[in-house]
Structure 1
Amino acid sequence: MSTDLHIPEYLQDCELVAAEDLARSPAFWLAHVLMAMGEYEEPAEPYGVDAAAFEAMVDRLSDPDEPWPVLRVGCGGDHTVHVVYVNWEDCSNVDFFVRHPAWGRLGHLGQCGADAAGPGLSWTELLALATGVPEGGEGLTDPSERLLLLLPLLGDADLPGEAHATVARALSHCGIRREAAGDLATVLLAGQDPVGGPRWTIPEGSPVAVCSAPYSPRRVPLALGITPDQAEALAAVLGGSRPGGGAGGG
C-alpha cells in the first residue's frame, strides 16, 4: 500500500508517495533502466516482460496527474537515497539525492530525463550502496534491486571486469529473462568509456570523492556544507573512499 511522503528539503510543489511496491514487478525494472536511458519505446517481450504491464508501468511512472513515485534506499547511519519520478505537465525527470535528517539540505547525486545531470556514482559507491543494507532500514532491502535502482547514476572509467556479470545477475534476479539479461547489461554499461570516461578523486579538504565529468553535480563534494564529521560518515556509507583507496572502483 502506498504511503504519502514528506521530504522537508525537497522544495517542489508536488505530492510524493512511497512506491517501493512497484519493485515487485519486472515491468518496473525494465521501465526504470530503459526510461533512464531515454529508450522506453523499446519492445518489452524480448526481455520476458509482458507488453501490457510494461506500458502500464511507463504510464504510471510518467503520469503528471498522480503523486510522484519515490523509491528509497536506506543506508547506514540514517542516510537515505531517494529516487523521485518527477512529472510536470511538459517534462519528466528522475531525481536522485541522498538525505540525512541532521543535514538541513540534500546531497544531489544526479538526474535522468529531459534535464539530465550526471554521473553521480562511481562503481565502488554503487556497490557500497547496493550491498550496505542496514537493519530496519526503510525502502528497498534487496541488493539487486538497490543496484538497478541506482545504476542510471553510474559513470566510471575504471569499471572492474566483473561489472557486466554483476549487472546481468541483478537484471535476471529482478525478473528480466536470463537469456536477455547479458545483452541488456551490455547496453546499460556501453557508455562507460575506459579512456575518456569520468574519473573519481578525493579532493583536498573532503573525504568524499568528486567526479571529473563536466555535467556531474559531484564536481564538488556531495552535500557541500555539512560538518567534517558528517562528511566522514557519508564517505563511509559510500564505501569509505580515501586517497589511494580506489575511489573509482577498480
Structure 2
Amino acid sequence: MNIGVHIPEYLPDCELVASEDLTRDPAFWLAHVLLTMGDPGESAEPYGVDTSAYDEMVDRLSDPEQPWPVFRVCCDGGHTVYAVYANWEDENNVDFFIRHPKWGRLGHLGQRGADEAGPGLSWTELLALATSTQEDCDGLTHPSERLLLLLPMLGDADMPSEARDIVARALSHCGITAGAASGLAAILLGEQALVSGPRWTSTDDNPIAVCSSAYSPRQVPLALGITPDQAEALASALSGPSPGKW
C-alpha cells in the first residue's frame, strides 16, 4: 500500500506518495538518471533494462493523474532530503530539497526538468549524504541508491579521480549492466570535467558552503534564515564523517 507523505512547507494542495518501492526495479534507476541528466529517449536495452519496463516507469514517474512520487534520504541530525517528481498537466520537474522539522522552511537544492535550477550539492556533500547511516528512518538506506537519487544535483569543478568508478559501482548495484555502467557514469559526469564548473566556498558568517553558479539556489546559504545552531547542524550533516573507501 502506498503511504502518503506530508511536507507542510511544500505545495499544500499536491498529493504526495512515498515511492521507494519503485527503486527495486532497475528501470527506475535508468529512468531517473536519464530523465534528469541524460536523454530519456535513449534505448534501455544496452543497460540491461527491458524496454517495456523502462517505458512504463517513465510513464509512472511523469503521470499528472497520479499522486506525485516522493523519494527520501534521511541523514544526520534529523534532516531529510527529498526528491519529488512534480507532475503538472503542462510540465514535469523533479524538485530536490532538504528539510528539518524544526525549521519551518525548506532548503532548496534545485530542480531538473522543465524548470532547471542547480547545482545543489558538491561532491563532498553528495558522498556525505549517501553514506550517512540512520536507524529506523523512512526512505532509501543503501549508499548506492542514495547516491544515484541525489546525483542530478551534483555540480562541482573539484572532482576526485575516483568519481567515475564510484558512480559506475552505484549504477551496477542498482541493476545497470556492469559492462555499460562505466560508460553511463562517464556520460552523467561529463560536465563535471569542466575546469570552469561550479565552485563551493564557505564564509566566516555561515558554515554552509555556497555555489558559484548563477543558476544555483545555493548562491545564498542553504535554508537561509535558520538559527546559527541549526546552520551548524546542517553543515555537519553535509560534511559528515569521512566515508572512507566506497
Using structure 2 for the length normalisation, give the TM-score.
Answer: 0.96
The aligned counterpart of 1:95 is 95
Cα distance in 2 for residues equivalent to 1:38 and 1:225: 34
Does residue 6 of the first structure (1) align with residue 9 of the second (2)?
no
Q: Which runs of 5+ in 1 are unaligned?
A: 242-250
Q: Deviations over 1:200-223 (max 9, x none)?
A: 000231000000001000000000
Map 1:37-48 to 2 at 5 A. 37-48=37-48
Cα distance in 2 for residues equivalent to 1:156 and 1:38: 18
The aligned counterpart of 1:231 is 231
The aligned counterpart of 1:247 is none
Q: Deviations over 1:58-83 (max 9, x none)?
A: 00000000000000001111100010
Cα distance in 1 for residues equivalent to 2:11 and 2:126: 26
Cα distance in 2 for residues equivalent to 1:26 and 1:62: 17
Q: Which amino acid aligns with 1:23?
A: T
Q: CA deviation at 1:11?
A: 2.4
The aligned counterpart of 1:116 is 116
Q: Which amino acid aligns with 1:197?
A: G
The aligned counterpart of 2:36 is 36
The aligned counterpart of 1:79 is 79
Q: Deviations over 1:116-154 (max 9, x none)?
A: 100000000000000002111220001000000000000
Map 1:56-205 to 2 at 5 A. 56-205=56-205
Cα distance in 1 for residues equivalent to 2:228 and 2:194: 32
Cα distance in 2 for residues equivalent to 1:38 and 1:114: 14
Greater Cα offset, 12-21 or 159-168: 12-21
Q: Which amino acid aligns with 1:128?
A: A
> Is the contact between residue 85 and residue 94 of structure 1 (CA under 8 Å) also seen in structure 2?
yes
SS in structure 1 opposite 2:150? helix
Q: CA deviation at 1:227?
A: 0.3
> Is the contact between residue 158 and residue 194 of structure 1 (CA under 8 Å) also seen in structure 2?
no
Cα distance in 1 for residues equivalent to 2:127 and 2:27: 23
The aligned counterpart of 1:248 is none
Moved segments of 4+, more than 6 Å = none
SS in structure 2 opposite 1:4? coil
Aligned CA-pair RMSD: 1.3
Cα distance in 2 for residues equivalent to 1:153 and 1:201: 17
Number of residue pairs aligned between Structure 1 and Structure 2? 242
SS in structure 2 opposite 1:175? coil
> Is the contact between residue 33 and residue 152 of structure 1 (CA under 8 Å) also seen in structure 2?
yes
The aligned counterpart of 1:54 is 54
Q: CA deviation at 1:193?
A: 3.4
